[in-house]
Amino acid sequence: MGDLTDHLVHFSGRGQFSPDVIARAAGSIVVTEDGRELLDFTSGQMSAILGHSHPEIVETVREQVGTLDHLYSGMLSRPVLDLARRLTETVPAPLDKAMFLSTGAEANEAALRMAKLVTGGHEVVSFARSWHGMTGGAAGATYSAGRVGYGPGAPGNFALPVPDAFRPPLTDADGNLDWRRQLDLGFDLIDAQSVGGLAACLVEPILSSGGVVDLPPGYLAALRDECHERGMLLILDEAQTGLCRTGDWYAFERDGVVPDILTLSKTLGAGLPLSAVLTSADIEERAHERGFLFLTTHGNDPLVAAVGLTVLDVLVRDRLDLRARELGARLRAGLDELATRHPVIGDVRGRGLLVGLELVPSGAWEDADALGAAVTRRCAELGLHMNIVQLPGMGGTFRIAPPLTASEAEIDRGVALLDQALADTV
């Protein structure tokens, strides 16, 4: 990109800056400085569930920033009080306490500190392809990237094998994923390594950065039971799955499992920096009695809290959970049809408007990472922004997450552009 990036730090060892400079965005479209339009099939950083520059979000920001934007974290404001009430009303009992922060990593950090304080333990379990953030505790529970070269991490972090049905590490007599045996084996190994300080299990209901892997039905309930048998708290990270994206308000609803602690971020702010930790009154009280401490400069900021309220208003009024289900079915049908004509498509998976498409190299393409990168470049040239999983050997897996406000025509157009990109590349 020449001089454009001369003064920027490269924040990802594998990822590169896109070749275009973005000038503006609206709805599902981002526009470059030279006027080229890109259909955004990632909702920005998997966050802009209402699309870019949603008029009601714009109006909320304009009004709130002129009234009350930032306060000392201990001061109360009406947007924060209202958001705590409204947000806890969207989740089942006993999740009736909320705190508001800026990023998903912060929320996971706070959740882990709370779990450690309440249980008296320090050991944390998460999936072997997890991504929970880059702050200390969250990074310790992240296995998909960023572990090499930074010295020893905090002791007491253990990895569970990923229950990947497309590439099952353990199979039953019929060749299907035997997730029950895999889960038991995983905890056998954790028990062997634990020094008796198990505190929490932090997982996503659908691993996003880990390849859009949906936990098999029944797995989450079994995982909860394994945790509670050991005195651990179950923390669900719904940064990308929460607030209607999967077709339900929360991905955990499908399994009827209520976590001990729930973290939200990306979708809650619809692109603005807002995250939340939700837990029960019992856990909050025990943490408070033990002196729970988690302070950040922008905790409980009224500006983004007002945005969160507007997000909830739009989600409820426009029934975007139902919309995500309907658009997700349309997207899935289109991708499944592509799979019948492009043998390189090995699997289509996911829920609602969080869909994974995995390419399996064949012929001239032997490397999934190179193939995924080539298809991504061709998509961008044609006017479609796609995102590949940034894991070695998994660069052929696309994370597809259009805004919940996308039109049917935009969904069809995105599928058609991907069709063309595959035809031009493979």
Q: Which among 391, 328, 112 has a CA at the least distance from the CA of 237? A: 112
Please indicate whether residue 204 is annotated as part of the active site. yes
Q: Which long-range contacts (CB under 8 A, 24 or more apart) does 288-296 make?
A: 290/117, 290/118, 291/117, 292/113, 292/114, 292/117, 293/113, 294/99, 294/109, 294/110, 294/113, 294/114, 295/73, 296/73, 296/101, 296/102, 296/106
What interhelical angle do 55-65 and 302-317 show, nearest 10?
A: 150
Burial annotation 207-232 (CB, 10 A radius, 16+ → b, else e): bbbbbbbbbbeebbebbbebbeebeb
Exactly one of 106, 109, 237, 410 is catalytic; name it.
237
Please indicate whether residue 369 is annotated as part of the active site. no
Degrees to nearest 5, angle at CA 117 with 116 and 120: 70
Exactly one of 116, 245, 351, 399 is catalytic; name it.
399
Please indicate whether residue 116 is annotated as part of the active site. no
N-terminal to C-terminal alpha carbon distance within the chain: 26
Exactly one of 97, 266, 332, 349 is catalytic; name it.
266
Burial class (CB within 10 angstroms; exposed 0-12, middle 13-18, buried 19+) of 399: buried
Q: How far apart are CA 126 and CA 199, in angstroms?
A: 12
- Rg of the Cα trace of the chain? 21
Strand segments (E) across 181-287 = 198-203, 206-207, 213-214, 233-237, 261-264, 275-280
Q: Which among 326, 395, 409 has a CA at the least distance from the CA of 366? A: 395
Note the helical H segments in 173-218.
179-193
Q: How far apart are CA 37 and CA 46, in angstroms?
A: 19
Exactly one of 240, 248, 325, 332 is catalytic; name it.
240
Residues forming beta bridges with residue 25, ordered by sequence position = 30
Q: How far apart are CA 79 and CA 189, in angstroms?
A: 46
Q: Are strands 29-32 and 22-26 parallel, antiparallel or unpaired?
A: antiparallel
Inter-residue contact 223 to 229 (CB < 8 Å): no
Exactly one of 40, 131, 260, 390 is catalytic; name it.
131
What is the separation of C-alpha 152 from the centre of its chain, rounded to a whole number of angstroms? 26
Please indicate whether residue 131 is annotated as part of the active site. yes
Exactly one of 204, 214, 248, 321 is catalytic; name it.
204
Longest dimension (CA), the chain: 64
Q: Which residues are catalytic?
A: 131, 204, 237, 240, 266, 399
